[in-house]
């Protein structure tokens, strides 16, 4: 993956866009740290579709799980309960 500073991207915008149109992914950096990624439209749309499909599958799976217990209430219920263990 290629990398350009903000100044380089500004100075080379037409050339950078040609590279992206050709399928290259370019990371834009500021002070050496990545701040943006320029990707071809088709690839970005594909990633977005995959992300949405994954989120949908995670939500569907989460609905099959039993309801979560309230851990605070469970711990409060344990207080004062002595089962002989030394740490209680």
Tokens in use for 15?
Answer: 């050339």
DSSP 30: E
CB 43 within 8 A of CB 21: no
Q: For the chain, which residues make up each domain, given as ranges?
A: 2-64
User: Structure pTM?
Assistant: 0.53
Q: What is the pLDDT along the chain (88 residues), one digit of tens a residue?
A: 899 999 999 999 999 999 999 999 999 999 999 999 999 988 878 888 999 999 999 999 988 887 777 888 778 777 776 666 666 5
Domain 2-64 class, CATH top level: alpha beta
């Amino acid at each position: 993956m290629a990398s350009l500073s903000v100044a380089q991207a500004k100075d080379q915008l037409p050339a950078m866009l040609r590279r992206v149109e050709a399928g290259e992914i370019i990371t834009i950096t500021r002070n050496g740290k990545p701040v943006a990624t320029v990707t071809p439209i088709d690839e970005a749309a594909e990633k977005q579709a995959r992300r949405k499909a994954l989120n949908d599958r995670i939500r569907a799976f989460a609905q099959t799980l039993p309801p979560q217990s309230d851990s605070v209430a469970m711990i409060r219920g344990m207080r004062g309960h002595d089962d002989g263990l030394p740490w209680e």
